[in-house]
Amino acid sequence: MTYLFISDLHLSPEHPRLVRGFLALLEQYKNQNTQLYILGDWFNAWIGDDYTAPWLDEIIHALKDFSAAGNHIYFQVGNRDFALGQKFLDKFNGQLLQDIDDLSLGKYTIRLEHGDLLCTDDVSYQKFRKIIRNPLLLGFLKSLPLGIRQKIANGFRKKSAETKQVKSYDIMDVNHTAVEAALNNADILIHGHTHRPDIHQIQDKKRIVLGDWREHEAQILEIQLNQNIHSLKLKKWCY
């Protein structure tokens, strides 16, 4: 059995190469008894599970084929697609995970999360996250017409890009104390969000940071059942 972990694809109609790369990944792993874990920011923005478009239909069709071949699809929301819910995942038999979830793999406990909660030094973002994830506000946003939701999403993206230009890169990275706390009851922490792919050794434990998808390649993680954690390496996926 193959466990495949990816994050930060930021799929959108404006970047068809990324979409093709994801479709190629599904085809590559379709016949490998794959457990696919997408740890947030699958899409560059998500305005609701009622959104439809030809480019998205192609992805859904490929996911249906992937699932029908006996594979499983798990998804955690990120800071860009936090409005994505089980209704969309039901279209291809996917499963929505909690913001923080554990996976038992052999003798190891793996903690999965998008990674934004680990960036505790970014105080302004953490405050915004708490507000925008409020169930009442999120429910209100989802009730708005699609066109209005699209404008709001575009505004969030623009504001995010402007904010990143003035913030220190270190502030937007993980806080080491938060990482240590996350590893208290886990052997491995896997996350994305920071766009700094790497494998960090923390005493006898590991923090694995998945890479964001660029125009030609991404850093992903593949684990085979009962694989020794000391042999884990990020894998380059080219498309």
> Using one digit for the tens of pLDDT, what is the confidence trace for 193-223?
999 999 999 999 999 999 999 989 999 999 9
pLDDT of residue 229: 79
**pLDDT over threshold 80, residue 177:** yes
Which class for 149: exposed (0-12), middle (13-18), buried (19 or more C-beta within 10 A)? buried
pLDDT of residue 56: 98
pLDDT of residue 146: 87
pLDDT of residue 158: 76
Across the range 33-48, mean pLDDT stands at 97
Q: Say what percent of the chain tops pLDDT 70.
A: 97
pLDDT of residue 40: 98
pLDDT of residue 98: 98
Q: With contact defined as beta carbons under 8 Å apart, do 37 and 3 qualify?
A: yes
Nearest to 189 by CA among 125, 86, 73, 100: 100
Residue whose entry in the numeric block shows the structure tokens 């066109």: 147
156-176 pLDDT, tens digit each:
777 777 676 666 777 889 999
For the entire predicted model, the pTM comes to: 0.94
pLDDT of residue 70: 98
User: How far is residue 97's CA from residue 76's CA, in Å, rounded to a whole number?
Assistant: 5
Strand stretches in the chain, DSSP E = 2-6, 34-39, 72-76, 95-96, 100-105, 108-113, 188-191, 198-202, 205-209, 217-224, 234-238
Across the range 44-64, mean pLDDT stands at 96
Nearest to 78 by CA among 174, 136, 142, 9: 9
Averaged pLDDT of the chain: 94
The CA distances from residue 120 to 140, 145, 227, in Å, are 27, 34, 32
**pLDDT over threshold 90, residue 153:** no
Taken in order of first residue, the domains within the chain and their CATH numbers are 2-238 (3.60.21.10)
pLDDT of residue 231: 87
Q: Which of 20-34, 141-155, 197-211 has the lowest mean pLDDT?
A: 141-155
pLDDT of residue 119: 97
User: How far is residue 73's CA from residue 35's CA, in Å, rounded to a whole number?
Assistant: 6
Q: Confidence class of residue 43 from pLDDT cuts 50, 70 and 90?
A: very high
93-138 pLDDT, tens digit each:
999 999 999 999 988 999 999 999 999 999 999 999 999 999 999 9
Give the number of other Cβ atoms within 10 Å of residue 221's Cβ: 23
